[in-house]
Amino acid sequence: MAPTLHLIYASPPVRAVLMTAKAIGLTLKENEINLFGGDHMKPEFLKLNPQHTVPTLVDDDGFAIWDSHAIITYLVSKYAKNDALYPQDVKKRAVVDQRLHFESGTVFVRLLKITRPILFEGKTTIDPKDRDNILEAYGFLDVFLNGKQWVAGDFISVADYSLVSSISSLNVLIPIDAQKYPNVVAWLKRIEAHY
């Protein structure tokens, strides 16, 4: 039996999980949650995930885990044929983990700051300070990619899947300037061709 992924397709973290599953050849049972209808607040969902967030993964043995970063590292650790996407080498893994934390603590937080007012408050403009924060994140990522093919070095990892899900969403809202962030633009093209 396949693990079940509770999701909404528009979510960048969900896309990171779906990309990771595809990369390791794992078929997930997908259960779309109606967040606007309150499915995530129903007792049966709260029992799985008291934070009532998506994505939430329930493995075939009933083990439940949420947060895309925890899910993707779990899936690779349990189901991948090798450790290529999440290396056992402690130094390589530390860099992957740092990039995952960069995505969750910097990039995704800044994405939410822009998208929540658009989605839930009808806001139609982006605050200049929020725009500057996104440009700063693009700048950090551009430095990480300097001289490298992928965000953690010379190998594609779960950090690439995690970051591309948020960066590609941000690129729609605040386009990435190829002159200022050439490494990010080149990386996006590589990951699109790879995926």
Model pLDDT for residues 101-121, shown as the tens digit of each residue:
999 999 999 999 999 898 888
Decide: helix, strand or coil at residue 150. Answer: strand
Task: Provide the token pair at 94.
Answer: 């530390």
Q: Say if 84 falls within a structural domain.
A: no
Q: Say if 85 falls within a structural domain.
A: no
Among 34, 58, 79, the domain-final residue is 79
* Residues 134 and 187 grouped into a single domain: yes
Check pLDDT > 90 for residue 72: yes
Decide: helix, strand or coil at residue 153. Answer: strand
Domain count, the chain: 2
CATH number for the domain that contains residue 181: 1.20.1050.10
- pLDDT for 194: 85
Active site residue 11: yes
* Residues 103 and 151 grouped into a single domain: yes
pLDDT digits (tens, 9 = 90+) for 121-136: 888 999 999 999 999 9
Check pLDDT > 90 for residue 49: yes
* Residues 113 and 169 grouped into a single domain: yes
- pLDDT for 35: 87
* Residues 73 and 154 grouped into a single domain: no
- pLDDT for 24: 98
Among 79, 98, 125, the domain-final residue is 79
* Residues 127 and 71 grouped into a single domain: no
Interatomic CA distance for residues 31 and 171, integer angstroms: 27
pTM here is: 0.95
Q: Which domain holds residue 147?
A: 90-194
Q: Do 2 and 28 form a contact (C-beta atoms < 8 A)?
A: yes
E strand or H helix that includes residue 66: strand 64-66
* Residues 144 and 111 grouped into a single domain: yes
pLDDT digits (tens, 9 = 90+) for 162-184: 999 999 999 999 999 999 999 99
* Residues 146 and 184 grouped into a single domain: yes
* Residues 106 and 190 grouped into a single domain: yes
Which residue among the candidates 11, 68, 165, 166 is catalytic per the annotation? 11
